[in-house]
Structure 1
């Protein structure tokens, strides 16, 4: 396992090579390397399993299960063992984003997030899926993707049993079991459990649409809507059925498809008692009772006459 070494512990020939390399760099390149080294030093303090990836994971910033944790958030009660992850966490509440992209101006709470974002401009995708060859700008996205092939989801919610690829995803999910919505929109008062959901919502008021489709130029307020849209152009189907292998562009479509295997029909017609695998199918069926805009749909749903 690779380990980050402070300058005083590095052999003399390595220090000389680094000094020669730094002298040959321009200021922008040098600043990028300094950010990476600063992040690697911070990660080494947390004893990361994979220090080659300069990224602070939420799993390393998780709350302390004991009562002697020295750092406590007075906003949400979350506690931390170390000062650095505590300071990073507090930026969620304060809105502080000290790391800005010089290309587009987008700001981030952590330097490693800025580094990942900069790759969207440079096109660098250093993380590779060994199964299908797909490349990613950050390690977390790569791990989530590889779970599609392996099915491995080691982190389990002890409340509902749902499984997750990463500890950070589980931590976010756990807040969904808490009734209180801590993040409120100052414009309309709507509450959200997650800060990222609030940020996406606020763009409705500001009109900001930072996610742009490079193919058609359409803009989006949130990354999920943008990602769904891009599959229209690429034809990529990200979600596969474990039973039959059929692939779908959207998770919701896959969920409905799986019901064809399980026989589950959760949507009930209160008029006639028929059940359906999707809400859209139920709505279409309801029009046969109301007569609303039925047209050809009504004829298609009628039983065919025997000749």
Structure 2
């Protein structure tokens, strides 16, 4: 029966016009291959002539299906059908776990794996598992190191064309996706979608180990490493490992000495953008964190948290050698050194050692002559903040 089909196809092919032969070529009888129709542009084979005709639209650019609502055109009828659901709002596939709805069954199936934890696609190089085949395909480029798409403006290379297109918008400044709640613009639709969850409060990603939920899949993955203990990112300079790539990047700057973030008010530089942001508040005087018990305002959220323990009496840090408790972890660390006698901080100018980094920093000013604390009334400088405070109280207080 297969042979008769092939012979029949050959007879039909001979009857095709010369123009059509430019696009289609049939495999020989000797191949006895089911894929009979071959694209003359890229060599891809197809079982059905109709499939080749649809494929040819990639090369010709033909998009015969046009939306009468917005004018967008499509090469494939099914893509056009799914697009129309955007206008109609139709989402026929609904998750019975969280109520989220989808226009396509494939997207629904992908989503359900978040709840079931199923990861059917496994990397044969490292064993890492993925929810979707597309995620595995993208991951494989990590092993091949292949980055065929390069930016013409800065030379940066990317493994995916889509990533290059997003990157190029950074150069053009194009932010076509705008939040209707607050007006904030975004480069991609996906980042806008993630941002909008701030307004809606939606947290579709639930931890499989506890009840915690997250607005982004990346946050969930990072959180779950607390439960699993997984630290996939290893420092190339030492044996330290991290659960987040960003933490590794920041850590490696300790080895390289890189401080890419410079203060616009002074020459101080930082290895972490958040440290720069916090430092700038010294210049601007901004104190965004207000105590709920008094009127005191703080520069950092952690400082607020620590300060509020004065009001609540909370002392979460307990000494492992005695029953003494502390408000701050640093105070505990300093106290425990009195039990152990440990002095890990050594002066780079002499042999003196200290149990606290702050004490070392203050001591080294004796060698450097640095006096960073200035009196605003008379201009006198001091190496310690306590000395400045004492001077102001004795000489300038009314």
For normalisation by structure 2, the TM-score amounts to 0.48
Aligned partner of 2:93 in structure 1 is 100
Distance 1:78 1:231 in 2: 46
Matched, 1:119 2:113: yes
Report how far residue 165 of structure 1 moved.
3.3
Gaps of 5+ in 2: 6-38, 47-54, 286-297, 304-327, 331-355, 368-398
Distance 1:176 1:201 in 2: 18
Aligned partner of 2:75 in structure 1 is 82
Matched, 1:237 2:247: no
**Alpha-carbon contact 2:169-2:175 (below 8 Å) kept:** no
**Alpha-carbon contact 2:151-2:168 (below 8 Å) kept:** yes
Report how far residue 114 of structure 1 moved.
2.2
- Find the partner of 2:201 among 176, 191, 207: 207
Closer, same or farther in 2 for the Cα pair 1:241/1:263, shift >3 Å? same
- Find the partner of 1:299 among 350, 358, 370: 358
**Alpha-carbon contact 1:69-1:80 (below 8 Å) kept:** no
Matched, 1:186 2:180: yes
Distance 2:260 2:78 in 1: 43
RMSD: 4.7
Report how far residue 91 of structure 1 moved.
6.7
Closer, same or farther in 2 for the Cα pair 1:113/1:264, shift >3 Å? same
Matched, 1:135 2:194: no
Closer, same or farther in 2 for the Cα pair 1:244/1:228, shift >3 Å? same
Aligned to 1:161, the other structure's residue is in SS state coil
Distance 1:88 1:213 in 2: 35
Closer, same or farther in 2 for the Cα pair 1:172/1:267, shift >3 Å? closer
Aligned to 1:153, the other structure's residue is in SS state coil
Closer, same or farther in 2 for the Cα pair 1:70/1:121, shift >3 Å? same
Report how far residue 138 of structure 1 moved.
0.8
For normalisation by structure 1, the TM-score amounts to 0.60
Report how far residue 217 of structure 1 moved.
0.8
Deviations 1:144-168 (A, max 9, x none): 3344444333333333333333334
Distance 1:171 1:196 in 2: 14
**Alpha-carbon contact 1:288-1:298 (below 8 Å) kept:** no
Aligned to 1:199, the other structure's residue is in SS state helix
Aligned partner of 1:226 in structure 2 is 220
Higher RCO by CA contacts (8 Å cutoff, separation 6 or greater) = 1
Closer, same or farther in 2 for the Cα pair 1:100/1:136, shift >3 Å? same
Closer, same or farther in 2 for the Cα pair 1:160/1:114, shift >3 Å? farther
Report how far residue 92 of structure 1 moved.
10
Aligned partner of 2:260 in structure 1 is 266
**Alpha-carbon contact 1:128-1:134 (below 8 Å) kept:** yes
Distance 2:78 2:116 in 1: 28
Distance 1:154 1:245 in 2: 32
